[in-house]
Chain A
Amino acid sequence: AQSVTQPDIHITVSEGASLELRCNYSYGATPYLFWYVQSPGQGLQLLLKYFSGDTLVQGIKGFEAEFKRSQSSFNLRKPSVHWSDAAEYFCAVAPSGGYNKLIFGAGTRLAVHP
């Protein structure tokens, strides 16, 4: 069965530090991969997605993610974190094609210290 694992439940970083959020997936073929961000009490906003091609994907708000097939990973990175990046981050996977029914990881809550 398809699954998504986000190993880190909580991460705390200092403002200006670099960030990497981990995501591993289990799927038979190369799926579509996504990162979403959620502020408290709000819906989810798409940060970036990977379908095919260049394995380094650029997203909004200065985020990027790298797809590594050999490691079944799709880690999210940001070189310098801002206090406004404090939120919960979800990795998701969907089979390619069709309506892309998403399967989400449990999320990583990011706290940013001034």
Chain B
Amino acid sequence: GAVVSQHPSRVICKSGTSVKIECRSLDFQATTMFWYRQFPKQSLMLMATSNEGSKATYEQGVEKDKFLINHASLTLSTLTVTSAHPEDSSFYICSAKGPFDSNQPQHFGDGTRLSIL
């Protein structure tokens, strides 16, 4: 089945550091990728939707300058948390879908746990 790889799985870094998270589709072309944030014991909150080669669409309340999304190829999207602070600590999950499977579900990565000290 379709596989989405997310890297790294865990990041611990100091406040003020910028952190990049990668999301790769391993066996299909991901024309659309989604980035979610999940707080402990809560549901997933969609942060943004990105289409290959175009600017990401951010959900209301998500700072686009804080959470930079790049989707430069059909197999890779990156989320960069700029100048991260402790309140940015969370579990970030990406998902991806291909171009012709409007009735098929998104395929999720295993998530990245970000801890800012």
**Is A bound to B?**
no
